[in-house]
Amino acid sequence: MMPRVFALLLLLLMAAPAQAHKASTSYLHLRVDDQQLEGRWDIALRDLDYAIGLDADDDGRITWGEVRGAQSRIADYALQHLKVDGDGKTCTLAVDGLQIVEHSDGNYAVLDLRGTCSQAPLKLQLDYSLLFELDALHRGLLDLEFPGDGAKNSSHLSALFAPDAHVLNFEPGSTQVLRVFREYFRAGLIHVWSGLDHLLFLAGLFLPAVLRRSHGEWLPTPSLRKAVRDTALIVTAFTVAHACTLTLAATGAFTLPSRWVECAVAATVCFAGLNNLVPMVYRELFWLSAGFGLIHGAAVASALIDLGLPAGGRVWALLAFNLGVEAAQLSLLALVIPPTYYFRYSRWYRWIILLPGSAAVTLVGAIWFLERAFDLQLGVRLP
């Protein structure tokens, strides 16, 4: 009875992320020049459609005509969720133009922002609440510029808005390293915990973690210590490789076509599940994990590229993000491996958890690959 209950709970945990609304990100660039504010705010069309409804004819496509027709509603919705104060006094803010641009994960509405403060602010406070009432996983990435006297004295500040960190304060010349580190460490955690592609890839690796392949069959691993050690090595190899390509791509060392990267991510998910059904690689899996980590790192880099982090903040942001990814993966390891180790001798684990779970991972990965490779809409979107 106990194995069946535990198996049901694991399946429910695996299925839960697929029911959630896709986590989203907006990109806010703001420049303060004396009393004047100017900037650009990129918000995903899918998020605006989710919030205020843009697809007027309900055909599943959002056209420029539909966006242009909803321009005033888009502007009103955005400005209701962004407040700017200079030295404690409210600054006016307005949308001065609207266009559409393509990011790596879809089309975005670009709002040109103009505003005025009563005086040149020494301190600036931003209150950001876009989409938080609808999606607790939404994040706002900020690049704030204070020009100063000449290029050498200008300062760029970076920040990450979240539901529990939606009001942030800024001063020209302040580095705020600890805040950047804390925010991007949390972003790394959320990247793993809320990313369905990442969770399914890890599921494909974790499902056989308490077993070992020998003479064509799955046998129980001899000790919990070995199961944890081997899985931790796989996870860390993934993180190190993930960090390498993420850092290189985010710093502009190379760029790859987004469709190729997304297809490759989907292929890694599919292979992670298929390898448990038809074992092809079952020794020294950390090498395989490292190779796949290179691909996932390239996929994540687009968000940091779009943000345009300044050189000083970029180092800390990348370091914190990668440490957050590692911490999140190790937390999942600690959550999954010890209880599954208890059931390693049970045939129910193999027939109710390992095989069906691996088949589900394989199927979803294959669907994602077909969608991205052939521009199809099969109903399962790649996060």
Give pLDDT tens digits for 107-159: 899 999 999 999 988 889 999 999 999 888 788 888 888 876 554 556 777 78
Give me the pLDDT at residue 176, please.
Answer: 66
**Confidence grade of residue 10 (pLDDT, cut at 50, 70, 90):** very low
Residues 6+ apart with CB under 8 A from 130: 26, 43, 78, 81, 82, 138, 140
**Helix, strand, coil % in the chain, rounded to nearest 5:** 55, 20, 25
Give me the pLDDT at residue 16, please.
Answer: 38
Q: Which of 205, 238, 201, 192 is nearest to 365 (CA)?
A: 201
Q: State yes or no: pLDDT of 337 exceeds 50.
A: yes
Is the pTM higher than 0.95? The answer reads no
Give me the pLDDT at residue 186, please.
Answer: 82
Q: If phi over 0 gives left and psi between -120 and 50 gives alpha, with beta otherwise, what is residue 143? A: beta
Average pLDDT of the residues of the chain: 81
Q: How far is it, in rounded angstroms, from Cα 82 to Cα 93?
A: 9
Of the two residues 247 and 353, the one the predictor is more confident about is 353
Give me the pLDDT at residue 212, please.
Answer: 83
Of the two residues 330 and 253, the one the predictor is more confident about is 330
Of the two residues 176 and 222, the one the predictor is more confident about is 222
Give me the pLDDT at residue 99, please.
Answer: 95
pLDDT digits (tens, 9 = 90+) for 222-246: 899 989 998 999 999 998 998 898 8
Q: 347 with 4: CB under 8 angstroms?
A: no
pLDDT digits (tens, 9 = 90+) for 191-220: 788 777 888 888 888 888 888 877 777 888
Q: How far is it, in rounded angstroms, from Cα 329 to Cα 192?
A: 7
Q: State yes or no: pLDDT of 302 exceeds 70.
A: no
Give me the pLDDT at residue 363, please.
Answer: 92
Give me the pLDDT at residue 242, please.
Answer: 85
Q: State yes or no: pLDDT of 23 exceeds 80.
A: no
Give me the pLDDT at residue 12, please.
Answer: 36
**Confidence grade of residue 14 (pLDDT, cut at 50, 70, 90):** very low
Give me the pLDDT at residue 47, please.
Answer: 93
Give me the pLDDT at residue 193, please.
Answer: 82
pLDDT digits (tens, 9 = 90+) for 313-322: 677 778 888 8
Residues 6+ apart with CB under 8 A from 256: 249, 298
Q: State the sign of the Cα–Cα–Cα–Cα dihedral 339, 137, 267, 299.
A: negative
Average pLDDT over residues 48-71: 91
Give percent of the chain above pLDDT 90.
31
Of the two residues 127 and 161, the one the predictor is more confident about is 127
Give me the pLDDT at residue 173, please.
Answer: 60
pLDDT digits (tens, 9 = 90+) for 75-121: 999 999 999 999 989 999 999 999 999 876 788 999 999 999 999 88
pLDDT digits (tens, 9 = 90+) for 239-297: 899 889 887 876 667 777 777 888 888 899 999 999 988 888 777 788 888 988 888 88
